[in-house]
């Protein structure tokens, strides 16, 4: 019954489809008649003329019929395609063929997994977005501050803030929906909340799970890739801090409290410590061609992912090439005074050695636009033990306007170059460097 109803809709007057189908059939008929006449002429049967043998007029008429038929077919197909695609092109810029080509090229791109959170991970996602749609962001859900923290305490949901930021990074930056998603209310009871946080939280309640809510959110924003939580468990960060001017070590719980405490972080952990990794995140790592860890807050954005049971094991088990991207600048309350080596040593202290293959770090320390509070991460000291275990690659990764942050284009170009060189050129250079 539903097929009959669907057919009836196609036949509805005024929808602009039937005329082009009829014209298409006319064109196909002309081509068929032209080809048939040539075939009949070759075997001695003549339709267009009464002479005993085919003349050049007969062949010319047949060729004209074929050429005219193909012209009519091409015209009808173009018009029919535009009529069919018109409802879907409202937000699509440029020609349809360009959109289809770009979609095809991105779909064939590298399988990239980026692990982290905060403001660092979105720069990786934005940089890879023009090259591949096979991007998966694995994001920390240990945040307990700001809008995310309030929703977490009031409604018992996973903190949506980092998930929201990375979904927005994979969406169209100019889209009204993306800007709405990132809008933050200024006052009233909603003051401080981002619309996207409320949207994800409400959708999780409607659909019954955060997993489904993320899928539907990604569909609404039409993002290139996926954003997954590191775990579905309700986890909190705990840290052992050495207080300034004292040998006393105190324990602080809560991501938002750790950086406020003012001590140096000795060790960080999860509560509960046996939180299990989300299966989709583990599978994405195992299937990846390239895994990027960082950039982002070392102790509160990167390590909360790696400490989830199953994530580090997946990184050791994958065949992907794994790059750790060190931060451009140190972070107050977390990595003050850290060099690249101390970032790496902190990772090894928590998850052991051999999780990543190479370290990518910045070597440009611009004073323009930097401000007095920007303190750049310095290179690995000469003869440091880290250099015996990893190759450290240096290049300019800074954003000109905000030099304490990574420039997305510079960062992804460096990542692709390093991965190509280290893997012996197995990655497709066109796929890596040709924007589609």
Domain boundaries, the chain: 16-90, 103-140+230-235+272-433, 145-223
- pLDDT greater than 80 at residue 2: no
CA distance 324 to 359: 5
- Residue 14: band (very low, low, confident or very high) from pLDDT cuts 50, 70, 90: low
Average pLDDT over residues 120-126: 93
Average pLDDT over residues 263-283: 94
- Residue 177: band (very low, low, confident or very high) from pLDDT cuts 50, 70, 90: confident
Task: Report the range of poorest mean pLDDT among 155-164, 215-224, 285-294, 418-427.
Answer: 418-427
Give me the pLDDT at residue 427, please.
45
CA distance 250 to 398: 35
- Residue 99: band (very low, low, confident or very high) from pLDDT cuts 50, 70, 90: very low
Could you tell me the CA-to-CA distances from 396 to 70, 380, 406, 416 in Å, in that order? 55, 16, 9, 14
Mean pLDDT is highest, among 19-33, 49-63, 255-269, 276-290, for 276-290
Average pLDDT over residues 42-57: 57
Give me the pLDDT at residue 407, please.
95
Contact (CB, 8 A) for 65 and 31: yes
CA distance 227 to 165: 10
Could you tell me the CA-to-CA distances from 267 to 12, 291, 304, 317 in Å, in that order? 69, 25, 12, 25
Contact (CB, 8 A) for 61 and 48: yes
- pLDDT greater than 60 at residue 435: no
Task: Report the range of poorest mean pLDDT among 67-71, 119-123, 326-330, 404-408.
Answer: 67-71
- pLDDT greater than 90 at residue 400: yes
- Residue 28: band (very low, low, confident or very high) from pLDDT cuts 50, 70, 90: confident
Give me the pLDDT at residue 431, please.
39
Pick the CATH number of 103-140+230-235+272-433 from 3.20.20.70, 3.20.20.80, 3.40.50.10680, 3.40.50.10880: 3.40.50.10680
In terms of Cα–Cα distance, which of 369, 292, 382 is closest to 340?
Answer: 382
Give me the pLDDT at residue 371, please.
84
- Residue 434: band (very low, low, confident or very high) from pLDDT cuts 50, 70, 90: very low
- pLDDT greater than 80 at residue 223: yes
- Residue 101: band (very low, low, confident or very high) from pLDDT cuts 50, 70, 90: very low
Torsion angle (degrees, nearest 10) of CA 294, 299, 304, 306: 60
Contact (CB, 8 A) for 229 and 239: no
CA distance 29 to 147: 65
CA distance 296 to 29: 63
Task: Report the range of poorest mean pLDDT among 3-7, 61-65, 99-103, 238-242.
Answer: 99-103
Specify the residue for token string 């981002």. 194
Contact (CB, 8 A) for 416 and 384: no
Contact (CB, 8 A) for 120 and 296: yes
Q: What is the pLDDT of residues 310-334, one digit of tens each?
A: 999 999 999 999 999 999 999 988 9
- pLDDT greater than 60 at residue 26: yes
Average pLDDT over residues 138-163: 92
Residue 80 CA, chain-centre distance (Å), reads 33
DSSP assignment of 50-114 equals -SSS--HHHHHHHHHHHHHHHHHHHHHHHHHHHHHHGGG-TT--S-HHHHHHHHHHHHTS--EEE
Sheet holding 264-271, edge to edge: 249-253, 236-242, 264-271
- Residue 163 — φ and ψ, nearest 5°? -60, -45
Give me the pLDDT at residue 285, please.
97
CA distance 26 to 19: 11
- pLDDT greater than 80 at residue 11: no
- pLDDT greater than 60 at residue 78: yes
The secondary element (H helix, E strand) that includes residue 325 is strand 321-325
The secondary element (H helix, E strand) that includes residue 381 is none
Specify the residue for token string 């489904």. 212
- Residue 13 — φ and ψ, nearest 5°? -65, 140
Q: Is the dihedral of CA 44, 47, 50, 56 positive or negative?
A: negative
CA distance 194 to 168: 12
């Amino acid at each position: 019954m539903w097929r009959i109803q669907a057919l009836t809709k196609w036949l509805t007057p005024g929808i602009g489809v039937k005329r082009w189908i009829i014209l298409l059939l006319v064109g196909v008929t002309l081509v068929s008649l032209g080809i048939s006449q040539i075939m009949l002429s070759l075997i001695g049967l003549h339709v267009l003329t009464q002479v005993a043998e085919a003349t050049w007029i007969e062949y010319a008429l047949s060729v004209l019929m074929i050429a005219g038929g193909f012209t009519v077919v091409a015209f009808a197909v173009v018009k029919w395609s535009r009529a069919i695609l018109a409802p879907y092109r409202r937000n699509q810029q440029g020609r349809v063929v360009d959109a289809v080509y770009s979609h095809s090229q991105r779909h064939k791109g590298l399988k990239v997994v980026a692990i982290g959170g905060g403001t660092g991970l979105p720069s990786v996602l934005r940089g890879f977005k023009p090259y591949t749609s096979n991007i998966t962001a694995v994001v920390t859900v240990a945040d307990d501050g700001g809008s995310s923290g309030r929703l977490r305490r009031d409604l018992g949901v996973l903190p949506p803030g980092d998930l929201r930021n990375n979904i927005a990074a994979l969406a169209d930056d100019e889209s009204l929906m993306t800007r709405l998603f990132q809008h933050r209310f200024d006052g009233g009871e909603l003051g401080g909340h981002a619309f996207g946080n409320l949207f994800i939280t409400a959708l999780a309640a409607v659909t019954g799970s955060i997993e489904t809510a993320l899928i539907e959110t990604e569909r609404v924003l039409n993002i290139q890739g996926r954003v997954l939580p590191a775990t579905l468990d309700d986890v909190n960060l705990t840290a052992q801090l050495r207080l300034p001017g004292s040998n006393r070590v105190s324990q602080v719980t809560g991501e938002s409290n750790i950086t406020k405490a003012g001590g140096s972080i000795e060790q960080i952990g999860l509560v509960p410590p046996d939180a299990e990794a989300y299966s989709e995140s583990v599978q994405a790592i195992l299937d990846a061609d390239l895994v990027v860890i960082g950039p982002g807050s070392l102790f509160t954005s990167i390590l909360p992912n790696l400490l989830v049971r199953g994530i580090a094991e997946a990184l050791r088990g994958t065949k992907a090439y794994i790059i750790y991207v060190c931060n451009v600048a140190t972070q107050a309350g977390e990595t003050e005074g850290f060099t690249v080596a101390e970032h790496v040593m902190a990772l090894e202290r928590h998850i052991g050695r051999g999780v990543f293959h190479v370290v990518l770090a910045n070597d440009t320390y611009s004073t323009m636009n930097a401000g007095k509070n920007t303190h750049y991460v310095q290179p690995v000291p000469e003869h440091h033990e880290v250099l015996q275990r990893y190759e450290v690659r240096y290049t300019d990764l800074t954003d000109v306007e905000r030099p304490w942050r990574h420039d997305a284009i510079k960062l992804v170009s460096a990542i692709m170059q390093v991965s190509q060189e280290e893997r012996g050129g197995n990655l497709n250079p066109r796929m890596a460097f040709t924007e589609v």
